[in-house]
Amino acid sequence: QQQVKQSPQSLIVQKGGISIINCAYENTAFDYFPWYQQFPGKGPALLIAIRPDVSEKKEGRFTISFNKSAKQFSLHIMDSQPGDSATYFCAASYGTGANNLFFGTGTRLTVIP
């Protein structure tokens, strides 16, 4: 059972446009929601993360919007650049044991010049 659902599977955006990736979860025990960026042949790297006590977090061109009541969160990439072309994974974890991450299925983003 997929604990975190992610959409779309792939996304093509023009340079300068806004990229939006959505995730939804069911487990209300989740209290940490990171986004990871992965380039081909590389390990995932933390991009930005949020906890459910805030509805939005912004770091540079990257913003997470979080809707606790709807159990949804999304990543917005403003002014998308070709260098942003990568696979993005949302994830969730909760605070017991080793805080295992439950990953979404990933979104392959392509930003065309």
Partner 1 sequence: DAMVIQNPRYQVTQFGKPVTLSCSQTLNHNVMYWYQQKSSQAPKLLFHYYDKDFNNEADTPDNFQSRRPNTSFCFLDIRSPGLGDAAMYLCATRPVRWERGIRTDTQYFGPGTRLTVL
Q: Map residues 12-51 to x or -, x wherever contact with partner 1 holds by CB under 8 A.
A: --------------------x-x-x----xxxxxx--x-x
What is the Cβ-side half-sphere exposure of residue 27, based on CA atoms within 13 angstroms?
17
Contacts (CB under 8 A) with partner 1, residues 50-109: 51, 89, 93, 95, 97-101, 103-106, 108
Q: Three-class SS of residue 83?
A: helix
Q: Which residues bind partner 1 (CB under 8 A)?
A: 32, 34, 36, 41-46, 49, 51, 89, 93, 95, 97-101, 103-106, 108
